[in-house]
Amino acid sequence: MAEPHRIFILGAGRVGTALAIALERAGAAPAGLWTRSPASAERARRLTGVPCWQGALPEMIGQATRVILAVSDPATASLAGALLDGGLLRSSEVVLHCAGGRPAAEALAGLGPPLARGTFHPLLAIADPEAGARHLAGAAIALEGDEAARRAGAEVARCLGARPVELPAGGLLAYHTAAVLASNHAVALWAAALELLGLAGVPAEEQLPALQPLISSTLTNLGALGVPAALTGPVRRGDAAQVARALELLDRAAPHLSPLYLAATAQALRLARALSDPAAEPGLQQIEELLRSRA
Ligand SMILES: NC(=O)c1ccc[n+]([C@@H]2O[C@H](COP(=O)([O-])OP(=O)(O)OC[C@H]3O[C@@H](n4cnc5c(N)ncnc54)[C@H](OP(=O)(O)O)[C@@H]3O)[C@@H](O)[C@H]2O)c1
Closest by Cα among 106, 122, 128 to 156: 122
Residue 37: how many other CB atoms lie within 10 Å: 12
User: Can you tell me the distance from the alpha carbon of 9 to that of 77, in angstroms, rounded to the nearest whole number?
Assistant: 15
132 lines ligand 1 (CB under 6 A): no
Give which of 104, 88, 91 is closest to 34, Cα–Cα. 88
How many whole angstroms from its chain centre is CA 282?
A: 38
| Residue to mutate (ligand 1; options 14, 135, 136, 173; most atoms within 8 A of CB) | 14
Helix ranges restricted to H, 31-122: 38-47, 73-85, 104-107
- Alpha-carbon torsion (105, 108, 110, 112), positive or negative: negative
Q: How far is the CA of 14 from the centre of ligand 1 (A)?
A: 7
pLDDT at 5: 86
Q: How far apart are CA 109 and CA 154, in angstroms?
A: 22
pLDDT at 1: 59
Q: Which residues of the chain have pLDDT under 50?
A: none
Q: Which residue, by CA, sits nearest to atom 48 of ligand 1?
A: 15
14-69 pLDDT, tens digit each: 999 999 999 999 999 999 999 999 999 999 999 998 999 999 999 999 999 999 99
Q: Which amino acid is at 35?
A: T
- Neighbouring C-alpha atoms within 13 Å toward the C-beta of 111: 36
Q: Report the C-alpha dihedral over residues 164, 41, 60, 69, rounded to 10 degrees.
A: 30
* C-alpha of residue 99 to centroid of ligand 1, in Å: 9
Contact 51, 58 (CB under 8 A): no
Residues 6+ apart with CB under 8 A from 45: 52
CA of 132 to the centre of ligand 1 (A): 13
219-228's contacts with Cβ under 8 Å and 24+ in sequence apart are 227/271, 228/271, 228/272, 228/274, 228/275
Task: Please tell me the predicted confidence (pLDDT) of residue 4.
Answer: 80
- The answer to whether the CB of 79 is under 6 A from ligand 1 is yes
